[in-house]
Amino acid sequence: MCFICSGNEPNCQAAKRPNGQMAIMFHSSIIMQRRLLLALGLCLLIGRAQAQLIGGEEDEEEEEEEEEEEESIEDETPEEKLQRKNIKQDSNLTVDKLIAKYGYQAEVHYVTTEDGYILTMHRIRNSGAQPFLLQHGLVDSSAGFVVMGPNVSLGYLLADHNYDVWLGNARGNRYSRNHTTLDPDASKFWDFSWHEIGMYDLPAMIDHVLKVTGYKKVQYAGHSQGCTAFFVMCSMRPAYNDKVVSMQAMAPAVYAKETEDHPYIRAISLYFNTLVGSSITEMFNGEFRFLCRMTEETERLCIEAVFGIVGRNWNEFNRKMFPVVLGHYPAGVAAKQVKHFIQIIKSGRFAPYSYSSNKNMALYREHVPPRYNLSLVTVPTFVYYSSNDLLCHPHDVESMCEDLGNVTGKYLVPLKEFNHMDFLWAVDVRKLLYSRMLQVLGKQSPAKDVEGEVKGLRIRGRAIGLHAN
């Protein structure tokens, strides 16, 4: 593995942790206690409500399955024992170590944004190949694109298809919890939404990838908020349209008119400020994983809570892999990011964060923030969506497509039960989704800037803080 910094040396060194691992802050403070209670409350509220809606038949079926699993442990084959061992290991490995474990060349890069946030990028290196940037959704991290393992997760599949894969981590998640001057435990650090991710994080990561590889353009794929931030970037900083070959938009969280009728989202939006208050600025950076791992019952409630929000699909859910998912997800988020999505749901407008009327006037010269102009997004965009995505309703996605500047195609996943997280976690995601994406990508490949590639090699050679393991 390789650790490469981009920025001045003190900032790079500050971003590192012993053995290349990022420290996951978990403080026993009053704020943390409130965050724990909030996470527990959400799990109990949504999990139990969802279970009651479905009824007891599936509960009985799952109890039988669990009993069968317990009995099968005694009769495990060597292959099954190895799988169980891998699941335990994979739930505790950092993304770079996870990539290296499965035989891929892993690198860790640190990138500093214009406003001082230090971001971590994970790379599945294929030197000389077309660079491909993957950007995760809300409360997720780069792990989302590798967590289900080789032959399933998109990061590995793209590497297998000869792409130089770069996995981004937005500010505030467990891998990008750092800044040149701000303390991550101070509220000022968390004064951002996904608007800043689009304005600063994505441009910094794209520029870094192009600088290192020497290519003029990257391929890009985003999931959920990874699409939201991308469209912010291209509409607010249009020059970046020319730095992207194409955008593969999975479950794009942009318009949310239909989401307003989602019972749990409506409840969260109504009571979010009351539950969170002004003291909680960071959410889901360890407390959710801690609660879900306590007992089998809390794990079940967590699964039901996730299904209650994103859509229920037991047939495509790999229960055995859930401990791996919990080891990496959720990965932390600013409360302001959630509030910004709630504003979109309530207002029906895809627009920057709305403050008081006076502050809006100072920032936007209008009492209400102006909408993002999606017609300025000229990157060729292929959109992937599903019928059972409770966060990105098909009607909202189709409305978004009408407003985007260059939609080259749409693909409605044929499985009706396919939900918001199935884009990453589904058992058959390769067959249902990624095979189609790879077909789309196979039709486009820009010429490489040979001179730039040479420059990129020199840049890597003199990179600050280069360590080889």
Could you list the active site residues?
224, 420
CA quadruple 141, 146, 147, 153: dihedral positive or negative?
Answer: positive
The 3-state DSSP composition of the chain as helix, strand, coil percent (nearest 5) reads: 50, 15, 35
Q: Which residue has the tokens 């009993």?
A: 67
The length of the chain in residues reads 469
Tokens at residue 431, please? 């067959």
Cα(106)–Cα(100) distance, integer angstroms: 6
Q: Which residue has the tokens 């353009």?
A: 217
Enumerate residues 6+ apart whose C-beta is below 8 A from 383. Answer: 249, 252, 397, 400, 401, 407, 409, 410, 411
Cα(115)–Cα(312) distance, integer angstroms: 39
Burial of residue 330 (number of CB atoms within 10 Å: 0-12, 13-18, 19+): buried
Alpha-helix residue ranges (DSSP H) falling in 329-449: 335-347, 357-364, 394-403, 422-425, 429, 435-441
162 Rama sector, left if φ>0, alpha if ψ -120 to 50, beta otherwise: left
Q: Do 463 and 5 form a contact (C-beta atoms < 8 A)?
A: yes
Return the SS3 of 247. strand
Q: Give the largest CA-CA distance in the chain.
A: 69
H or E, element range at 118: strand 118-124
What are the Cα distances from residue 14, in Å, to 5, 10, 116, 260?
11, 6, 12, 42
268 Rama sector, left if φ>0, alpha if ψ -120 to 50, beta otherwise: alpha
Neighbours of 455 (CB within 10 A): 15
Question: Closest Cα to residue 340, out of 269, 401, 287, 249?
Answer: 269
What are the Cα distances from residue 432, in Å, to 65, 222, 316, 387?
25, 17, 11, 13
